[in-house]
Amino acid sequence: MHTFERHITSLPSQALAVLAANKARAADQSLSLADRQVATSDAEGAQAVLGIFDSMKLNPGHRF
């Protein structure tokens, strides 16, 4: 698999990691309200990216 293909196929798992981290930050009461709001916004962005990947139905065997 070429480097570009590895990067493309790893993006959904990276987006999931970003989503999980930001959901945890959004729920962390030790953070300021502003920080939790930023985390919520970032989580929504990661969720949107995952939706895009789901709609694309990335095929790991696809050749670019």
In a domain, 10, yes or no: yes
Q: What is the mean pLDDT of residues 5-30?
A: 93
Share the mean pLDDT of the chain: 88
Domain interval for residue 29:
3-56
Give dist(CA 31, CA 43) in Å, integer: 16
Tokens found for residue 35: 């920080």
SS3 assignment, position 9: helix
In a domain, 62, yes or no: no
- Give per-residue pLDDT as tens, 36-60: 999 999 999 999 999 988 887 755 5
In the chain, how many domains are there? 1
Asked whether the beta carbons of 19 and 50 are under 8 A apart, the reply is yes
Could you write out the DSSP letters of every residue in the chain?
--HHHHHHHHHHHHHHHHHHHHHHHHH-TTS-HHHHHHHHHHHHHHHHHHHHHHHHT--TT---
In a domain, 61, yes or no: no
